[in-house]
Amino acid sequence: MTKWTPRHEAPEPLEGNVVATITGGTVIWFVLFLVQIPFYGWFRDHGHLWWVWTCLAGGGLGLIGVWYVRKRDAAIRRAEAAAQRETAGTGPQA
């Protein structure tokens, strides 16, 4: 198994504007859903109705994702602010 053992450490994950990325993806899913609605009959007749519902599910899950990453970003900011207060000596007194 030594053949598959990594020889170097994994790089740090990239941190970007996650909220904007998830919001953009969610908007795309909802737009795809709305574009397909006028062709609902065609999708039904050709057995591709799941395409319509997949786009709606993607938009719905995207809304959950937006909520999640906003909470995550807020928690990260709170933790960073608490760490800065603690290193500055203005943290809570025990």
Would you state the pLDDT for residue 13? 82
pLDDT tens digits, residue range 11-44?
Answer: 888 888 999 999 999 999 999 999 999 999 999 9
- Supply the Cα-derived Rg of the chain in whole angstroms: 22
90 vs 64, higher pLDDT:
64
**Nearest 10 degrees: Cα torsion 59, 60, 65, 71:** 130
What is the spatial distance between Cα 63 and Cα 29, in angstroms, rounded to a whole number?
A: 10
Residue 81: the pLDDT is 93
Q: List, for residues 63-89, the tens digit of each pLDDT value.
A: 999 999 999 999 999 999 999 988 887
CA 60 to chain centre: 12
Residue 69 in contact with residue 22, Cβ under 8 Å?
yes
Q: Look at residue 89 in the predicted model and tell me its pLDDT.
A: 74
Q: Supply the pTM of this predicted model.
A: 0.73
